[in-house]
């Protein structure tokens, strides 16, 4: 007698649990970067976050140095996650350390996490170069003095900063509360001064996923935000730029246009 298996008797098929793992290091006050990564990444790339402790939440050079000093311990907390890459998600502390300090930071977190290391700041440099940018409008949520360290970092990498605009937020916990309208106005204000090839919007603790499309339409040039750059830079290092998307960003179009 022939017995037919019903559909319900068939062996179940399960999705793969394999994933590419990105480690993310951010200050504990940063409630934005991890969220913008997860909203942008496909299901087969996962984010594993370790928070950098910092007693001083002021956005000053001294506080930025504390973030750098404590990043190694945060990276070491991920050493058993078997990461494919670890990302330092705090641009302002990279600016204070300069080019050499940023390179050393990437090396140190990589050794601590036992994975290749990179920083959001160096990803921003690579991303801006990928669209052929040489002259920049620079916008940041920081106080003026910290924003100027961003300009100095970009100048040291060979860019010309033609305008610099900031909001003046002086406490790290306030960054996540900056409204998209404020970020839009800041970007437009920066782009109104002189001709440039792209707008760089610094700050991984600020929401930019929901404003980047409007900004690009308003200024007609590429907009590279810190979180966009870190995401693209991580995917580039992993050979997965095919998976890149970040809100309404036209980054891949700008990159193809350059080619």
Helix 120-130 to helix 226-237 angle (10° resolution) is 80
pLDDT band at 252 (very low <50, low <70, confident <90, very high): very high
- Phi/psi for 6 (5° steps) reads -75, 165
pLDDT in tens, 195-248: 999 999 999 999 999 999 999 999 999 999 999 999 999 999 999 999 999 999
Domains of the chain: 20-119 (3.40.50.12500), 122-225+240-258 (3.40.50.12500)
Residue 112: strand, helix, or coil: helix
Is there a contact between 149 and 175 (Cβ–Cβ < 8 Å)? no
pLDDT on residue 65: 87
Q: Which two tokens stand for residue 113?
A: 């996490």
Question: What is the pLDDT averaged over residues 153-167?
Answer: 97
* Euclidean distance between the first and the last CA atom of the chain, given in angstroms as a whole number: 67
Is there a contact between 121 and 153 (Cβ–Cβ < 8 Å)? yes
* pTM exceeds 0.85, yes or no: yes
State the burial class of residue 241 (Cβ atoms within 10 Å of its Cβ: 0-12, 13-18, 19+). middle
Range 50-85 burial, b when 16+ CB lie within 10 A, else e: bbbebeebebbeebbebbbebbbebbebbbebebbb
Q: Which range scores top for mean pLDDT: 53-57, 143-147, 156-160?
A: 156-160
pLDDT in tens, 10-33: 889 877 777 899 999 999 999 999
Residues 6+ apart with CB under 8 A from 5: none
């Amino acid at each position: 007698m022939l017995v037919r298996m019903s559909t319900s008797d068939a062996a179940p098929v399960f999705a793969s649990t394999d994933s590419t793992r990105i480690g993310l290091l951010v200050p504990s006050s940063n409630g934005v970067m991890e969220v913008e990564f997860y909203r942008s990444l496909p299901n087969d790339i996962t984010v594993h976050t370790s928070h950098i402790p910092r007693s001083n939440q002021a956005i000053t050079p001294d506080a930025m140095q504390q973030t750098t000093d404590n990043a190694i311990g945060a990276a070491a907390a991920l050493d058993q996650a078997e990461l494919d890459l670890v990302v330092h998600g705090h641009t302002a502390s990279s600016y204070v350390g300069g080019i050499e300090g940023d390179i050393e930071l990437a090396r140190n977190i990589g050794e601590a996490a036992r994975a290749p290391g990179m920083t959001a700041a160096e990803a921003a440099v690579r991303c801006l170069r990928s669209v052929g940018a040489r002259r920049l409008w620079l916008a940041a949520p920081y106080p003026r003095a910290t924003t100027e360290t961003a300009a100095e970092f970009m100048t040291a990498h060979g860019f010309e900063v033609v305008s610099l605009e900031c909001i003046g937020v002086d406490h790290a916990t306030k960054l996540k509360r900056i409204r998209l309208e404020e970020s839009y106005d800041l970007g437009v204000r920066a782009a109104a001064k002189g001709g440039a090839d792209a707008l760089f919007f610094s700050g991984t603790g600020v929401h930019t996923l929901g404003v980047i499309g409007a900004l690009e339409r308003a200024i007609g040039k590429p907009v590279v935000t810190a979180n966009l750059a870190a995401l693209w830079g991580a995917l580039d290092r992993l050979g997965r730029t095919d998976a890149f998307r970040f809100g309404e960003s036209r980054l891949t179009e700008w990159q193809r246009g350059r080619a």
